[in-house]
Structure 1
Amino acid sequence: MVSSLRPVPSPIPSLTQKSAPSAHISLHLRPRLRVVAGARTSDDYHATLKALNSKGRSPRKSLGQHYMLDSAINEELISAAGVKDGDIVLEIGPGTGSLTNVLIDAGATVLAIEKDPHMAVLVRERFENINRLKVLQEDFLKCHIRHHIHSLLEGGSMSNANPSYAKVVANIPFNISTDIVKLLLPMGDIFSQVVLLLQEETALRLVEASSKSSEYRPINVFINFYSDPQYKFKVPRSNFFPQPNVDAAVVAFKLKQAADYPPVSSTKSFFSMVNSAFSGKRKMLRKSLQHLRSSLEIEKALENIGLPNTSRPQDLTLEDFVMLHDSITKV
């Protein structure tokens, strides 16, 4: 009965409270929104609060929820991915739908994966009259993403377009960013571009760390094996609600096709070797890889590819690791 319903207390500031971010929020990127027939209102601080209040929600720290407040940055995101009319785009964690809104206005067909059931309902309701959007309430790290994307690429999409590859454009939770990168980059058979908004420190570590760098890790070898990464631009923390303790950045990964991967006999064996090499980062490879071959054989393999027999993992490039793997796995 209606009389039994009580108003849900707002878990976030009322729209009348003066708690909005400073007026100079994210003005390093000026709004450049296109004029599109039937385009919806751009998202900002007040629109975000209104959307959250409509479901009695507040951002959940456990899900890494930080909502974008600047539509101009969303425009830059889709520009970095080269999104055009007819593209199929995967969005991870649409939240209140601010990026979804811009993707739809660009003419894309969007598959949005949202773990929070309340946000999934919110986005469905917001775009209920749009036939180029499908919202799945699932944990992205556990869903069958290949199945979902293949069904769209093979003609089951909600548009008349039939592109060969989909794209990923997403403002992802910082706390699972590395897991998402590891899951997406080997999918060059279905995705051409993966453009992600990440924590800036993570973005720099993933893209710019190279051999000889103290930040060089197995993930850098992995990223360069499967893609050509590029740091795009920084996004100050003031552009999010709630404001995180760190700035963000946008990274574009151009995915490689299988034919363009470095030639290794087994990717599983290759990355197992790389991980072992870094398990003792200060150790020389002749020590950390001696479970694969004897120390003398490792030394010989290093010398065969033109490296000192005292080399450590941070001394090797992707190409060096590929040649080393080829050398030590030969019978």
Structure 2
Amino acid sequence: MDLDHLPPLRDVLDAHDLAAKKSFGQHFLFDLNITRKIARLADVHAGDHVIEVGPGPGGLTRALLETGAQVTAVEKDPRFLRLLEELSQAAGGALTVHLDDALTADETALAAGRPTAIVSNLPYNVGTPLLIKWLTGPFTPRSLTLMFQKEVAERIVAAPGSDAYGRLAVIAQATAQARLVMEVSPRAFTPPPKVTSAVVHLVPHATRLDQALLDSLQTLTAAAFGQRRKMLRSSLKQLGGDTICEKAGIDPSRRAETLDVEEFLNLARAR
């Protein structure tokens, strides 16, 4: 059997007696029109290397393999290993499966020196910490094309002054170009989630921020947005308050949601 003659995913799940686990935040995406569109939005082509987190039954995996990409899948749920191994055989070995927790997986080792895109329909319960890990950790992907709850996706791309603007927007936009590129109805999933989903495409900036600056930015944004209605002199009091605002050339009476990304970087440099 090859990729062109695989049975429908629903039939595969029934054959393996598999269902989504709520504890893993699993919502399966069976619509190949949608998964193929995600692969196109990820700009994945033959010979590219892709890391996919949480492939489950392999709906998005199939679409990625159809492009001719080499796919490394990181799956926490051992129930799917046999199914994914069958998919790997159908793809002529283009799929490699690792039983691991993506929160602790070593992407540098998985990439093995290859430029690597990360493409994933992320489990809702770990989407944000995984994004922070990939944007601020030691491994820098070529790009990230990720499915989130729409509310989270909007927070990633939010502009200063908007209700959605916060710590996640600052960190994402300080480290990458981020665009919301697609919305997905709950009806596309099995089981359907209670919320609309959205795909965000991120391309890390060519020049990576110094790790000390990244760490400082994370500390600052956590404090500033932890008390977002307070003036910076109050919310950042434990970090220097008036002093670091003065060094960064920022009025300490301003509130966190009014600062743009570059101003937050200036504050991080001032610490």
TM-score, normalising length from structure 2?
A: 0.91
Q: 2:69 aligns with which of 88, 108, 122?
A: 108
Equivalent-residue separation in structure 2 for 1:48 and 1:230 (angstroms): 30
Matches within 5 A, 1:8-23: none
Q: 1:315 aligns with which of 254, 258, 261?
A: 258
What's 1:184 paired with?
Answer: 134
Bigger radius of gyration: 1
* Structure 2 alignment gaps of length 5 or more: none
Q: In structure 2, do the counterparts of structure 1 residues 264 and 139 end up closer, same or farther at CA, with 3 Å as the change threshold?
A: closer
Matches within 5 A, 1:143-292: 143-150=105-112, 153=113, 164-186=114-136, 190-207=140-157, 209-257=158-206, 259-261=207-209, 266-292=213-239
The code of the aligned residue for 1:174 comes to Y
Cα deviation 1:154-173 (Å, max 9, x = unaligned): xxxxxxxxxx5111111111
Equivalent-residue separation in structure 2 for 1:326 and 1:201 (angstroms): 30
C-alpha displacement of 1:118: 1.1
C-alpha displacement of 1:267: 2.2
Q: Matched residues, percent identical?
A: 28
Q: In structure 2, do the counterparts of structure 1 residues 60 and 214 end up closer, same or farther at CA, with 3 Å as the change threshold?
A: same
Matches within 5 A, 1:31-110: 39-41=3-5, 47-110=8-71
Equivalent-residue separation in structure 1 for 2:40 and 2:222 (angstroms): 35
* Secondary structure in structure 1 of the residue aligned to 2:4: coil
Cα deviation 1:214-262 (Å, max 9, x = unaligned): 22211111101111000101111111111111111111011123x253x
Equivalent-residue separation in structure 2 for 1:318 and 1:70 (angstroms): 37
Cα deviation 1:67-114 (Å, max 9, x = unaligned): 112111111111111111100011111111122112112110000111
* Secondary structure in structure 1 of the residue aligned to 2:136: coil
Output the aligned Cα RMSD: 2.1
Equivalent-residue separation in structure 2 for 1:51 and 1:178 (angstroms): 30
C-alpha displacement of 1:186: 3.1
Matches within 5 A, 1:115-126: 115-126=76-87
Number of matched pairs: 269
Equivalent-residue separation in structure 2 for 1:282 and 1:190 (angstroms): 34
Equivalent-residue separation in structure 2 for 1:299 and 1:63 (angstroms): 42
Please tell me whether the aligned partners of residues 42 and 98 of structure 1 are also in contact (alpha carbons under 8 angstroms): no
C-alpha displacement of 1:313: 0.9
Equivalent-residue separation in structure 1 for 2:168 and 2:177 (angstroms): 13
TM-score, normalising length from structure 1?
A: 0.75
Equivalent-residue separation in structure 2 for 1:115 and 1:169 (angstroms): 16
The code of the aligned residue for 2:198 comes to A
Q: In structure 2, do the counterparts of structure 1 residues 313 and 39 end up closer, same or farther at CA, with 3 Å as the change threshold?
A: same
Cα deviation 1:42-91 (Å, max 9, x = unaligned): 77xxx233212222222111111111121111111111111111000111
Equivalent-residue separation in structure 1 for 2:37 and 2:255 (angstroms): 40
* Secondary structure in structure 1 of the residue aligned to 2:55: coil
Q: In structure 2, do the counterparts of structure 1 residues 192 and 48 end up closer, same or farther at CA, with 3 Å as the change threshold?
A: same
